[in-house]
Chain A
Amino acid sequence: MRSAKDDRLVGRAVARREDPRLLTGHGRFVDDVELPGMLHAQFVRSTVAHAALAEVDLTQVRQVPGVVAAFTAMDLDLGDITAQLGRPLTEFVPTAMPVLARDRVRYVGEPIAIVVAIDAYAAEDGLEAAKVTYETLAPVTCEDQALAPGAPLVHEEATHNTLVDVSLFATEGIDEIFDNAPCVVRVEARTGRQNALPLETRGAVAHWDGREEQLVLHTCTQVPHQVRTVASRCLRLDERAVRVIVPDMGGGFGLKCVVGREEIATAAAALRLRRPVKWIEDRKDALSASFLAREQHYTARAAFDVDGRILGLDADVVCDMGAYSCYPFTAGIEPLMASAEMSGVYKVPAYRVRGRAITTNKAPTAPYRGVSRPQYVMVVERLMERAARALGLDPVEIRRRNIITEFPYTGVNNITYDPGSYLESLNLCEQALKEAGWYGRQAAARAEGRHIGIGYSCFSERTGYGSTAFAARKMEVVPGFDLAEARMDTSGAVTVTSGTISHGQSHETTMAQIVADALHVDIAKVKLHQGDTDRITYGWGTFASRSITVGGSAVRLAAAKLGDKLRAIAAAEWGIPPEETELDRGRVRRRDDPDAVLTHEHLAETAYLKSHLLPKDIDPGLTATAAFDVFNDGTFSNATHGVVVELHEGTGQVEILAYVCVEDCGVAINPQVVEGQCRGGIAQGIAGALFEQVTYDGQGEPSATSFMDYKVPTAHEIPEVTIHHLETPCAFTETGAKGAGEGGTIGAPAAVLNAVNDALRATRVELDNTPITPETVHRALTSPALEQTP
């Protein structure tokens, strides 16, 4: 007989339970939801970046064949979406985001009116007939304009166009440290505005269910309960009267973890018309008018001693958050993340940071996979490389001298890091590139005049933020805990709920693995329910790599409680204490007599169908609920990425020759899923490093409104990635797992940028901005310094 340990599913590449339906075309995404009598909505959107709305005339829209209705903000009279931080006005200025623009538009693409028609074609016909009269205002399209004295204001209440201005840390005496340091290096870096770009655009289907007296909103969101809260407030309904259902979701990456105005407007239209209304965002709107991210400007310096040990870090971060603060995170999401965590994996003794969110006439921003960490890691890793050059040290060696090696480690940022494998991952990554012969090949290529570079990035990623950590950010709505319920029916099948919501991360598989182990049942007997506010009491959804750490822990606790109840019922039948029983492959077994077993089906029958047999202290039914929260600073996954690039003269192309990722996310519930997260994350990080950017012209017109202009990397550009796993289990999650959702994206830009700079060594050009365009590389490769190099 196999031991219980052999039967464990956690740690195995269990086949994904999502796959059969997705591979056969039987997934159900929001655009697949079809209801009788359903209408289709599209939005009249602003064609200018900044204007007062003089008039919105929909008279002719309503005459267009097929158009059923058209509504402005005045017609619908909805409450605003306002995200709050519990900070003084000097640090945070709250701004309201109306569901439809009321008297002012603040970016090209801002929704002004909703047009509802018998199909999407007719709805688009209707848009053409809208007459919007703008009184244009000067647009604010970049940081320099936003912060200039006398600048036009995007929001009157936000003087200096600044929504967030926080100085979280300022070590006493830091100026003296920099004044006296033998080596001070500086980096000024700008990172491009990106779109998280789930392949499935946003969308919603709403209808009023008169029997349930409930508005039912199908929408692809990472935060169903938060959408419910906003919908209920904007529509002035009790939360009970709103049901949010999330079907299969075609990616999210953060873009869908904020509440969108269009999903609320779609709900409002359905409520008004008492007919189902569907809205599916087209790609143009998804690229230009949804939520963007990542446009940041760092001015940073670091002080080092002669041995390359860091003495201090001093940074100013300006994040261009666009026109509105997103709900629930606010415009503080990027500057607060950067400010709180920038010291990263290094032993930084002194730290000062100022973080700002500015508002401009561009599409608003949402958290995007990694949130600020891809950017600040890049800046810190550039500082490390620059110091190594200044001090004549090997770039890996300078990292070794500074990396945190003793845990728990409380940083200068007052965050306590739980144990990780920071140094081990660095060493292993370097060893992998050495053993693959890349250093030798680089030297040989250089001798031939080719430009091959090797670059690294070291980072850790805080995952499993509990309510304590979010409260420290002073969020007014404080995410953190998760609830799970486990139920068993009379057939012994288990239903488990989670407040997290998978959109590619395989929760139906990984959560079932956790439950199967905890209850000692066949995984085929376990089904996860997620993404339905009527089935799930409450949840914070999926973001910040919280699902397995927090959600998975709650699920495990609920399953264990259900197991306890099964044992209690069995123990009562045997007349022995529950401690003398144990769970064993779909049964409860007596410890003193392994042949004495009661099946789950038998026990469930007692619990439901023969409850008169239960002792008085055991309630009928088989259900258990558990909550989990993290009451410390969270758990840190870590990794080192190593990249080899070749720069091509003439085209300026950056070709990635090799990519090695050494990652540690604690116990990997499903190693294949973890590798998938790594590779996908790395692809998105490479996208940011080399390809993707939304720019705006002086009038606030976005450059990228199709895939012709927004260059999403394909299999041609994304290399194969070699992954090595290390495992430092987390001591306080129920499974030992740490989050694995974002690391790939965090590490890639820094490693790629460092590799490019290594390849450019002979040119004496150093690049610090992303995306690194072929033009920049070409210019660097034709720099005069290169010609002087022998």
Chain B
Amino acid sequence: MNDTGSLGDDVQLLTLDVNGTSCEVITSPRRTLVDVLRHNLRLTGTHVGCEHGICGACTVLVDGLPVRACLMFAAQAEGKQLTTVESLADPGTGELNDLQRAFTEHHGLQCGFCTPGFLMLAQGFLTERPEATKEEIREVVAANLCRCTGYQTIVEAIDACATARRAQRAAGTEETSCN
């Protein structure tokens, strides 16, 4: 990674664990996590919407929990497990996971700019609270901004995914596509 940021003599070597892969990045200490993910590692699925932690377009998982990647320096992410939207689909076949499928089935996205943030928010939340009710899901969806959908179909998509996962667990089948 040769994007060293603006100051050639003030750089550091970071080792980041992104989607299970260890990545070395040489960058200036002031670069945010979202900029390093997007521009150094070319994982452009994580988007930048406000750079002040309100819109949530940059949401990624840090050690499994949703975090605004615009409010964190890349250096702060060393030693943590980072998960981005690129991790959701099957790496071999590209097949969408159940959450992604629910978004498309419920028309939970239009322009798609905020979508990776909502997907990671939901992925983190449902792992933490698989029993979440639709009302709880709506509360969590209120953490991020979407300008296209009016939110209803995002809530429905996440609720449908959660319901299906619960049904699968109840049926005793091991869910493998959404770990």
Do A and B come from the same complex? yes
Residues of A within 8 A of B (CB): 15-16, 18-20, 22-29, 31-32, 34, 65-66, 117-119, 121-122, 125, 197-201, 248-251, 253, 280, 282-283, 503-506, 672-673, 675-676, 679-684, 706-708, 712, 714-716, 718, 720-721, 744
B30 at interface by CB-CB < 8 Å: yes
Check B7–A716 contact: CB distance below 8 A.
Answer: no
- Complex Cα distance, B46 from A504, in Å, reads 18
B94 at interface by CB-CB < 8 Å: yes
Check B147–A19 contact: CB distance below 8 A.
Answer: no
Q: 1/0 per position for B128-156, CB-CB distance to A under 8 A?
A: 00000000001101111111111111110
Check A251–B147 contact: CB distance below 8 A.
Answer: yes
Could you list 12 further interchain pairs (A-B, Cβ under 8 angstroms) beyond the known A24-B45, A66-B6, A199-B111?
A16-B104, A23-B88, A24-B100, A25-B116, A27-B113, A31-B48, A198-B113, A250-B114, A251-B147, A282-B51, A283-B49, A679-B153
Given known A199-B146, A715-B138, contact A672–B111 (CB-CB < 8 A)? no
Check A199–B147 contact: CB distance below 8 A.
Answer: yes
Give the 8 A-B residue pairs with the shortest CB-CB distance, closest first: A25-B45, A250-B113, A22-B112, A504-B111, A122-B6, A679-B150, A504-B110, A707-B54
Q: 1/0 per position for B38-55, CB-CB distance to A under 8 A?
A: 110011111111111011
B16 at interface by CB-CB < 8 Å: no
- Complex Cα distance, B112 from A18, in Å, reads 9
Q: 1/0 per position for B44-81, CB-CB distance to A under 8 A?
A: 11111111101101000000000000000000000000
Given known A34-B39, A121-B28, contact A24–B86 (CB-CB < 8 A)? yes
Check B104–A707 contact: CB distance below 8 A.
Answer: no
Minimum CB–CB distance for B80 against chain A, Å: 20
Q: 1/0 per position for B94-124, CB-CB distance to A under 8 A?
A: 1010001001110101111111100100000
- Complex Cα distance, B28 from A125, in Å, reads 14
Contact of A24 among B28, B85, B149 (CB under 8 A): B85
Contact of A25 among B85, B109, B141, B150 (CB under 8 A): B85
Please indicate the chain A residues that have their CB under 8 angstroms from the CB of B86 in the complex. Answer: 24-26
Question: Quick one: closest B residue to A121, CB to CB?
Answer: B6
Check B109–A23 contact: CB distance below 8 A.
Answer: yes
- Complex Cα distance, B150 from A712, in Å, reads 11
Please indicate the chain A residues that have their CB under 8 angstroms from the CB of B43 in the complex. Answer: 25
Given known A125-B6, A199-B57, A283-B49, contact A24–B110 (CB-CB < 8 A)? no
Minimum CB–CB distance for A26 against chain B, Å: 7
Given known A199-B49, A718-B152, contact A16–B107 (CB-CB < 8 A)? yes
Check A199–B113 contact: CB distance below 8 A.
Answer: yes
Please indicate the chain B residues that have their CB under 8 angstroms from the CB of A716 in the complex. Answer: 138-139, 142
Minimum CB–CB distance for B171 against chain A, Å: 26
Minimum CB–CB distance for A424 against chain B, Å: 24
Please indicate the chain A residues that have their CB under 8 angstroms from the CB of B107 in the complex. Answer: 16, 672-673, 675-676
Question: Quick one: closest A residue to B110, CB to CB?
Answer: A504
- Complex Cα distance, B115 from A712, in Å, reads 17
Contact of A251 among B3, B48, B113 (CB under 8 A): B113
Residues of B within 8 A of A (CB): 3, 5-7, 28, 30-31, 38-39, 42-52, 54-55, 57, 84-86, 88-89, 94, 96, 100, 103-105, 107, 109-116, 119, 138-139, 141-155
Check A683–B151 contact: CB distance below 8 A.
Answer: yes
Please indicate the chain A residues that have their CB under 8 angstroms from the CB of B144 in the complex. Answer: 714
- Complex Cα distance, B115 from A283, in Å, reads 18
Check B104–A15 contact: CB distance below 8 A.
Answer: yes
Question: Quick one: closest A residue to B28, CB to CB?
Answer: A121
Please indicate the chain B residues that have their CB under 8 angstroms from the CB of A24 in the complex. Answer: 45, 85-86, 88-89, 94, 96, 100
Given known A25-B84, A706-B50, contact A714–B111 (CB-CB < 8 A)? no
Check B148–A251 contact: CB distance below 8 A.
Answer: yes
- Complex Cα distance, B3 from A186, in Å, reads 63
Given known A31-B48, A65-B6, contact A684–B147 (CB-CB < 8 A)? yes
Given known A26-B45, A121-B5, A283-B52, contact A679–B113 (CB-CB < 8 A)? no
Please indicate the chain B residues that have their CB under 8 angstroms from the CB of A199 in the complex. Answer: 47, 49, 55, 57, 111, 113-114, 145-148
- Complex Cα distance, B43 from A34, in Å, reads 12
Please indicate the chain A residues that have their CB under 8 angstroms from the CB of B39 in the complex. Answer: 34
Given known A121-B5, A121-B6, A282-B51, contact A718–B111 (CB-CB < 8 A)? no
Please indicate the chain B residues that have their CB under 8 angstroms from the CB of A65 in the complex. Answer: 6-7
Contact of B149 among A32, A280, A679, A712 (CB under 8 A): A679
Most chain A C-beta atoms within 10 Å of own C-beta, residue among B38, B50, B88: B50
Question: Quick one: closest A residue to B85, CB to CB?
Answer: A25
Please indicate the chain B residues that have their CB under 8 angstroms from the CB of A672 in the complex. Answer: 107
| 14 CB < 8 A contacts A-B | A19-B112, A20-B96, A24-B96, A117-B6, A198-B113, A199-B55, A250-B111, A282-B51, A283-B51, A676-B149, A706-B50, A706-B52, A707-B50, A716-B142
Minimum CB–CB distance for A742 against chain B, Å: 13
Check B119–A23 contact: CB distance below 8 A.
Answer: yes
Minimum CB–CB distance for A621 against chain B, Å: 34
Please indicate the chain B residues that have their CB under 8 angstroms from the CB of A28 in the complex. Answer: 44
Check B30–A249 contact: CB distance below 8 A.
Answer: no
Check A680–B150 contact: CB distance below 8 A.
Answer: yes
Minimum CB–CB distance for B40 against chain A, Å: 11
Check A676–B85 contact: CB distance below 8 A.
Answer: no
Minimum CB–CB distance for B93 against chain A, Å: 12
Check A23–B151 contact: CB distance below 8 A.
Answer: no
Question: Quick one: closest A residue to B144, CB to CB?
Answer: A714
Question: Quick one: closest A residue to B112, CB to CB?
Answer: A22
Question: Quick one: closest A residue to B117, CB to CB?
Answer: A199
- Complex Cα distance, B2 from A34, in Å, reads 14
Check A712–B6 contact: CB distance below 8 A.
Answer: no
Please indicate the chain B residues that have their CB under 8 angstroms from the CB of A122 in the complex. Answer: 6
Check B141–A715 contact: CB distance below 8 A.
Answer: yes
Check B109–A198 contact: CB distance below 8 A.
Answer: no
Please indicate the chain A residues that have their CB under 8 angstroms from the CB of B50 in the complex. Answer: 283, 706-707
Given known A24-B100, A706-B54, contact A200–B150 (CB-CB < 8 A)? no
- Complex Cα distance, B106 from A23, in Å, reads 13
Check A718–B54 contact: CB distance below 8 A.
Answer: no
Most chain A C-beta atoms within 10 Å of own C-beta, residue among B46, B54, B85, B152: B152
- Complex Cα distance, B147 from A283, in Å, reads 14
Please indicate the chain A residues that have their CB under 8 angstroms from the CB of B104 in the complex. Answer: 15-16, 19-20, 23
Minimum CB–CB distance for A717 against chain B, Å: 8
Check A27–B112 contact: CB distance below 8 A.
Answer: yes
- Complex Cα distance, B110 from A200, in Å, reads 13
- Complex Cα distance, B6 from A199, in Å, reads 27
Please indicate the chain B residues that have their CB under 8 angstroms from the CB of A506 in the complex. Answer: 110
Please indicate the chain B residues that have their CB under 8 angstroms from the CB of A32 in the complex. Answer: 38, 44
